[in-house]
C-alpha cells in the first residue's frame, strides 16, 4: 500500500503547522509550504529531525501561476499521488466596506479564495483518478456570519464554504471527500494583539485534531461545516 501524502498550504505557522505536525505523527508524507524561505527551511529541518518525511516548497499563492507550480512540484515528489489537500494559507483584513480598494479585494481574494479554487481543481482531478482523497478548507466563523469591518474576509470565507459544498457533491461519486472547518479566534501569529488573550482562544492543535478526526471516519461518512467555538463566546 502507498504511504499517505498531503499538501498543506501555509504550513510554516499557526493552524497549518499544527495540522502538518499531527499528519506527520500519523505517518503522512507532507509538502510544507509558505512564502518565507528561511522559516520554511527551519520547519522542514525540525520535521526531519523528528524522522518525518517532508518536502519544503516555497510559493506565494497571490502570484499568478504559483499555485499550479506548487501542485505540479508536489506531485513530482509524491509520484503523482495525493491523499489530502489542506487549503489553509490565508490572510485577514479588517476594513469598512467604504475603505476597501480594488487592490485590497484582489489581493485578499487571490490568496483566500482563488488559490484554493485552483489547488482544489487540480487535486480533484488527481483524487477522482485515485477514487480516493480529501480536500479540507480552513474557513472561519466569519464564513458563517459577517460583522462590521469583516465583509472582505467574510466574503472569502463564505466563498470557501461554497467551494467545499460543490467539491463534496462532485467528489462523492468518486469517493472523494471535502469539508470545511470554521474556527473562532485561534491562538496564532494572525491573532497576535487581538482583544482576546491567547490563553482564552482555541488552540491550533484543536483544529488539527478535527482534521485528523475527519480523516479517521469510514468512507461513507463526512463532517460538514465543523464550527469550533470558544467556550462562552459568540465569535
Ligand atoms: N487564527 C485565527 O483566529 C483563525 C480563525 C479562523 C480561521 N483562520 C484561518 O486559518 C488559516 C491559517 O491562519 P493562521 O492563524 O494559522 O495564520 P498564520 O499563523 O499567520 O499563518 C499563515 C500561513 O500562511 C502562509 N501565507 C501567508 N500568506 C501567504 C501567501 N501569499 N502565499 C503562501 N502562503 C502564505 C504563511 O507563511 P508566509 O508568511 O511565510 O507566507 C503561514 O504559513 C487562514 O486561512 C485563516 O484565515 C484563522
Q: How confident is the model at residue 1 (pLDDT cuts 50, 70, 90)?
A: very low
pLDDT tens digits, residue range 197-214?
999 999 999 999 999 999
90 CA to centre of ligand 1 in angstroms: 4
The residue among 173, 154, 182, 179 whose CA lies nearest residue 85 is 179
pLDDT tens digits, residue range 8-24?
999 999 999 999 999 99
220 CA to centre of ligand 1 in angstroms: 31
The yes-or-no answer on residue 153 being catalytic is yes
Alpha helices in 101-196 (DSSP H): 102-109, 115-130, 151-171
20 CA to centre of ligand 1 in angstroms: 13
Mean pLDDT across the chain: 96
The pLDDT of residue 5 is above 60: yes
Q: How confident is the model at residue 233 (pLDDT cuts 50, 70, 90)?
A: confident
Res 186: pLDDT: 97
CATH architecture type of domain 5-228 = 3-Layer(aba) Sandwich (3.40)
186 lines ligand 1 (CB under 6 A): yes
- Classify residue 207 by burial, with Cβ atoms within 10 Å: 0-12, 13-18, 19+: buried
How large is the average pLDDT for residues 173-180?
98
The pLDDT of residue 169 is above 70: yes
191 lines ligand 1 (CB under 6 A): yes
Res 205: pLDDT: 98
Pocket test for ligand 1, best of 114, 182, 190 (most atoms within 8 A of CB): 190
How large is the average pLDDT for residues 94-110?
98
Give the β-pairing of 133-138 and 176-183.
Answer: parallel
Res 3: pLDDT: 80
Amino acid at each position: 500500500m502507498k504511504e499517505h501524502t498531503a499538501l498543506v498550504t501555509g504550513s510554516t505557522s499557526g493552524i497549518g503547522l499544527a495540522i502538518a505536525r499531527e499528519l506527520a505523527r500519523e505517518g503522512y508524507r507532507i509538502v510544507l509550504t509558505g512564502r518565507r524561505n528561511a522559516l520554511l527551511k527551519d520547519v522542514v529541518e525540525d520535521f526531519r529531525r523528528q524522522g518525518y518525511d517532508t518536502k519544503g516548497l516555497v510559493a506565494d499563492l497571490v502570484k499568478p501561476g504559483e499555485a499550479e507550480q506548487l501542485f505540479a512540484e508536489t506531485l513530482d515528489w509524491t509520484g503523482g499521488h495525493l491523499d489530502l489537500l489542506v487549503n489553509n494559507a490565508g490572510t485577514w483584513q479588517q476594513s469598512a466596506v467604504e475603505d476597501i480598494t480594488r487592490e485590497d479585494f484582489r489581493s485578499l481574494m487571490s490568496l483566500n479564495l482563488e488559490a484554493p479554487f485552483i489547488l482544489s481543481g487540480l487535486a480533484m482531478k488527481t483524487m477522482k483518478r485515485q477514487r480516493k482523497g480529501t480536500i479540507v478548507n480552513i474557513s472561519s466563523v466569519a464564513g458563517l456570519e459577517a460583522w462590521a469591518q469583516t465583509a472582505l474576509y467574510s466574503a472569502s470565507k463564505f466563498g470557501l464554504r461554497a467551494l467545499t459544498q460543490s467539491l463534496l457533491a462532485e467528489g462523492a461519486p468518486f469517493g472523494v471527500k471535502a469539508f470545511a472547518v470554521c474556527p473562532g479566534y485561534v491562538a496564532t501569529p494572525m491573532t497576535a494583539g487581538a482583544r482576546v488573550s491567547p490563553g482564552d482562544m482555541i488552540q491550533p492543535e484543536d483544529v488539527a485534531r478535527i482534521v485528523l478526526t475527519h480523516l479517521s471516519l469510514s468512507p461513507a461518512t463526512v463532517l460538514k461545516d465543523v464550527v469550533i467555538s470558544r467556550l462562552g463566546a459568540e465569535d
